[in-house]
Amino acid sequence: MTRFEVPDGSVVQAYRYALDPVPRQQRMLASHAGGSRFAHNYMLTLVKAVLDQRTAEQSYGLAVDELTPSPGWSLPALRKTWNRHKAVVAPWWGENSKEAYNTGLDALARGLDAWSKSRKGERAGKAVGFPRFKSARGRRSVRFTTGTIRVEADRHHVTLPRVGTIKTHESTRKLARRVDNGTARMLSATVSCDSAGRWHCSFQVLVTAKRRPAHAARSKNAVIGVDVGVKADSLMVVGAPDGTEIARIRAPKSLTAVQARLRVLQRRAARQHGPYDPVTKTRRRPSKRWRITQSRIGRTHTRAANVRRDVLHKATTALAQQHAVITVETLNTAGMRSAGGAYKRGLNRALADAALAQIRQMLGYKTCWYGSILVSAERFYPSTKTCSGCGRRKPNLSLSERSYVCEHCGAEIDRDLNAAVNLARLGETHSRVGESGPAGSGPVAGRGAIHKSGTVQAGPAGGCEASTPHNPTRVGQAGTVVSQEAAA
């Protein structure tokens, strides 16, 4: 699928505002989200029926040219098929904007494309399954790309196609000033509803001349390493190549703080009349009190997510603005939580509460904004097991050992600080201070790291971490590999 190319000197930034719609607008937004889900599910049903029919015909011995014609899986092909069927299957389609149905079809086209490439081995990462049907209890959202999309002059209203002018909870002056000055152009607007029932509007904006603020002074430690963890006192430990600790950011532990309230609410919901009867194994109309309890559960989760996101945004913004080179780990966060069951559910919950993958994601685009370089250490680079004093490696280091004691030089240092220092030194050998570096996953440092005891030697840069980004990125910068010669 063709991706949008960001012009040189510009970046794509999102401005997200909480909406305060009137009841009529709430019903319209819900109708748009429902139309998106209906178009997605209907076309998925059609695609599955054709695939099953072709499989059955092949079992009969028919030739390939005699099989039932397969509808195209691209967005234009799905949209053309939907336009032929919508008058019959959805006579109410005119009540919503065409962008509502385009949102569902675009999601289906992306899912089919990812599944097809994964089967052919053209897509890196874990195998992608066939697209599934969207549930009414899932995330509700719709994306507008055409029509009237703007922020009003009073700085407290936004206008969307078919929905009209909606009030916002906060001022839109930052975005409005950029639009008035001609340094920002709106690409799209995505309206979504969170688990607490509040609607938000996120504007995707093409911003020119994005640079580091004048008040954000560079730190004297240009190159740093960031070690992440799940401990309450060490969500991020920032170290310098000379072995000094620059900062230690505490974890908010927002999910842990609301566990008692969630336990009470979830037990209350289990005693109420829900949408499923476990005795007759049938669906039923949920009670009003069950809906109220579910709303409270959603608001509790939303608050925990907001507290966590606030801490991560403030910390990553400060790092990207104050330092020139930032080295982070490449963690398989999904694999860290994939096994163990009830025996490690406490660790799995702590990993989810820390949101370690979001730290690297935020640093990816913020370093591009503020002219910094993000270096990603190779996944198996032994930053924790390596002594920052002599370079020797400790083969066995359990999670309970919070201090690193070297058996060769006798050095004793905090475990997380030791890893941060090693990461900082690795980034120092792969990037040049003051160089405008790539965004996204960043260059991968430490390829070819050995897995046995001995002195650690940082290998040459060997490529980018495999990923499939869905957001527009700068062509020629996202995923660019910085070689050892160019970084010298």
Within the chain, what is the greatest distance between any pair of CA atoms? 78
For residue 483, pLDDT over 80 is answered with: no
Q: Are residues 314 and 444 in the same domain?
A: yes
pLDDT of residue 468: 36
Higher pLDDT, 440 or 229: 229
Q: Are residues 194 and 227 in the same domain?
A: no
As for how many domains the chain has, the answer is: 2
Q: Are residues 476 and 403 in the same domain?
A: yes
Q: Which residue out of 106, 353, 414, 416 is catalytically annotated?
A: 416
Domain that holds residue 467: 223-487
The verdict on residue 338 lying in a domain is yes
Higher pLDDT, 76 or 71: 76
Q: Are residues 232 and 164 in the same domain?
A: no
Among 176, 208, 240, the domain boundary falls at: 208
For residue 484, pLDDT over 70 is answered with: no
pTM over the 0.85 mark: no
Stated length of the chain = 488
Q: Are residues 179 and 254 in the same domain?
A: no
Q: Are residues 420 and 305 in the same domain?
A: yes
> Which residues sit opposite 339 in a β-bridge?
none
Q: Are residues 317 and 391 in the same domain?
A: yes
The verdict on residue 31 lying in a domain is no
Q: Are residues 185 and 256 in the same domain?
A: no
Catalytic residue flag (residue 170): no
Q: Would you state the structure tokens that stand for residue 310, as one six-digit string?
A: 């606030």
Chain centroid to CA 33: 21
Give the orientation angle of helix 75-89 with respect to helix 98-120, to 10 degrees.
130
Element (H, E) at 223: strand 223-228
For residues 172-189, average pLDDT = 93
For residue 44, the number of C-alpha atoms closer than 13 Å in the C-beta half-sphere is 21
Catalytic residue flag (residue 329): yes
Q: Are residues 316 and 201 in the same domain?
A: no
For residue 38, pLDDT over 60 is answered with: yes
The verdict on residue 442 lying in a domain is yes
Q: State the virtual CA torsion across 89, 95, 99, 102 in degrees, nearest 10.
A: -10
pLDDT band at residue 445 using 50, 70 and 90 as cut-offs: low
pLDDT band at residue 289 using 50, 70 and 90 as cut-offs: very high
Catalytic residue flag (residue 416): yes
Q: Are residues 302 and 255 in the same domain?
A: yes
What is the side-by-side strand order in the sheet with 140-144? 140-144, 184-193, 199-208, 10-20, 164-168, 157-160, 150-151
The verdict on residue 432 lying in a domain is yes
Higher pLDDT, 344 or 172: 172
pLDDT of residue 162: 93
- pLDDT tens, residue by residue, 242-258: 888 899 999 999 999 99
Among 150, 176, 208, the domain boundary falls at: 208
For residue 457, pLDDT over 50 is answered with: no
Buried b (16+ CB within 10 A) or exposed e, 339-370: eeeeeeeeebebbebbbbeebbbbbbbbbbbb
The verdict on residue 80 lying in a domain is no
The verdict on residue 123 lying in a domain is no
Q: Which residue out of 227, 378, 414, 428 is catalytically annotated?
A: 227
For residue 140, pLDDT over 70 is answered with: yes
For residue 78, pLDDT over 80 is answered with: yes
Among 208, 231, 251, the domain boundary falls at: 208
For residue 23, pLDDT over 90 is answered with: yes
Report the percent of the chain where pLDDT is more than 90.
54
- pLDDT tens, residue by residue, 362-391: 999 999 888 889 998 888 888 888 888 888
For residues 331-337, average pLDDT = 83
The verdict on residue 249 lying in a domain is yes
pLDDT of residue 444: 60
pLDDT band at residue 453 using 50, 70 and 90 as cut-offs: very low
pLDDT band at residue 331 using 50, 70 and 90 as cut-offs: confident
> What mean pLDDT, rounded, does the chain reach?
84
Q: Are residues 323 and 451 in the same domain?
A: yes
Higher pLDDT, 71 or 172: 172
pLDDT of residue 465: 32
Strand, coil or helix: 214? coil
Report the percent of the chain where pLDDT is more than 70.
88
For residue 133, pLDDT over 80 is answered with: yes
Q: Are residues 340 and 473 in the same domain?
A: yes
| ∠ CA 268-269-274, rounded to 5° | 145
pLDDT of residue 478: 32
pLDDT band at residue 180 using 50, 70 and 90 as cut-offs: very high
For residues 63-77, average pLDDT = 87
pLDDT of residue 243: 87
pLDDT of residue 2: 62
Of 390-399, 406-415, 451-460, which range is least confident?
A: 451-460
For residue 348, pLDDT over 80 is answered with: yes
pLDDT band at residue 1 using 50, 70 and 90 as cut-offs: low
The verdict on residue 15 lying in a domain is yes
Q: Would you state the structure tokens that stand for residue 281, as one six-digit string?
A: 């194994």
Q: Which residue out of 99, 106, 329, 353 is catalytically annotated?
A: 329
pLDDT of residue 382: 87
